Structure 1
């Protein structure tokens, strides 16, 4: 008579003969907190009972206005300040207890870089690298040169750091975080002070790091930044976590609350398009140059949602020249406003 699979010491069971290989256990999250709380004197809660899960391999956007508790959370995760209550695990180990083991696997840029102004950019990186007990001094120059190249500072490497612009200092801080290969990169407002070209370069670098398998935890109050590079996001407000999930799921949640979604039509005949759409139940119509947007009727209105193909056909039948037609995905600004009822500093 066949015997059941034997139990292993960890409580799991070995695969039965012929059943194929056992599936590997799920990887620990890169970051996980339970009830993480930070209270300052007077009882002011900077972070209030945070339960956060950052999947490995994700580009995770930590989103919220200035003062929402993002930087305080990061400082607790990195062991820079003690939590008042709750727990945090980074790369599967408790923090700050396992800091000596965990932090060499983490690159971080928090609240802007602390630089030696009298040293050049290159010499600053040499100092940072020399402070790393795991760094081989024989390959220091290669690491420093590679990091400067990655952040676009190779040409300014000999310039004194005190003469750097805010954006250049931010780049140098990021280079310091990239001196060694990292499992986790924690970036607090990484594009602060950068011009639009610099922002694009840093975002491209984040995508490149993620493609190489690095988990990137990106704190920002710039919605556009999160939306362009992140796979997952969490929304903070007044020290509390409002929601978290994939960026696509967060946006889909808002579309669900808008019944069937927000319709967008691009046409050189916006007035005629708006008239036809109104006749077919589209509400909250807005005309901006050659774009017409409106809310589709749905279950919330007690109506069946219209077939988009029928709407498009009605526009064409009425002589409206349609250049583009479809429902738009909710933006992270929509998500934030829907969840909190507040506006957001989208410009930074």
Structure 2
């Protein structure tokens, strides 16, 4: 897919590297491709280099080596031409606490040399409405909750039509209803042709809203591609429903099933992987029946993005980097 001006990958990096003073390697030879029209999730455990990458993409810091391009133009060299076409919310919104929400957006819009002052009021009103802040537009930003501040930061990124939106934890601080509204907004923006690049610590959020994703660990790219393909490459857990959970757990452990968890009448675990031949789940089911276990349901759960993440990185998921 091409974007409105014919760019196939709206974000592209080649060998992108950032080493800080003192020798810390934050990003190590990153080759990233974000397709036009995608909602792209950027994932990784704490300290994996995601925020450093985003800051390099936006021209906020210089890379040590390698290259990055946004909208087909090199960054940071083409920042002046590119950034007016990019909306960004990075590391939380920077707001003037003594100004109202509306006044903050007017200030942001005024700082854009390409923004027509004659239509400023209409742009600000529309942006406030899109993020659900119309009723609170006159309140001082310092009185906003974390979720309201996050909404206002997102509104600032939506003041103008954008070819690319870069969002760092866009639902941070929102209640469940607010999270659903922002997810719906992201889908609408993508449907209108805007490419959305977002980092999030909520894997469920990535699965619900993203078409593509990349996984980072220790500054390196582990994998990237369509979300469905990333999850499909990972086996789901075995799940058994039975009125004999204790006996079922014992039999499954003897047969090599690991990480066995018993929750009321449900037993789950990881299928054995050590043998030369893959274990047929049907053989496990037969063994349970031979042992006198009454099996009400038996099968493999669909692998989630979290399963894929743990399999790829060997870590739990805690995104702050």
TM score, norm. by length of structure 2: 0.86
**Matched residue pairs, number?**
315
* 2:78 corresponds to: 98
Question: C-alpha separation between the residues in 2 aligned to 1:342 and 1:311?
Answer: 30
SS at match of 1:342: coil
* 1:54 corresponds to: 34
* 2:160 corresponds to: 180
Contact map agreement 1:32 1:53 (CA 8 A) in 2: yes
* 1:343 corresponds to: 316
Question: 1:161 aligned to 2:141?
Answer: yes
SS at match of 2:22: helix
Question: C-alpha separation between the residues in 2 aligned to 1:320 and 1:52?
Answer: 50
SS at match of 2:88: strand
Choose 1 or 2 for highest CA Rg: 1
1:224-273 deviation per Cα after TM superposition (whole angstroms, max 9, x unaligned): 33232222111112222222122222222232xxxxx4322445664576
SS at match of 2:138: coil
From 253, 277, 283, the counterpart of 2:257 = 283
* 1:151 corresponds to: 131
CA RMSD of aligned residues (A): 3.1
Higher-RCO chain (CA-CA 8 Å, sequence separation at least 6): 2
Contact map agreement 1:47 1:73 (CA 8 A) in 2: yes
From 1, 25, 33, the counterpart of 2:13 = 33
Which runs of 5 or more structure 1 residues have no equivalent in the other structure? 1-25, 256-260
Aligned-pair distance for 1:196? 2.8
Aligned-pair distance for 1:106? 0.8
Contact map agreement 2:248 2:293 (CA 8 A) in 1: no
Identify the range of structure 1 (225-234 vs 265-274) with the bigger mean alpha-carbon deviation.
265-274
Contact map agreement 1:265 1:292 (CA 8 A) in 2: yes
Identify the range of structure 1 (85-94 vs 127-136) with the bigger mean alpha-carbon deviation.
127-136
* 2:3 corresponds to: none
TM score, norm. by length of structure 1: 0.79
Aligned-pair distance for 1:321? 6.8
- The 5-angstrom pairing of residues 248-263 of structure 1 reads 248-255=228-235, 261-263=236-238
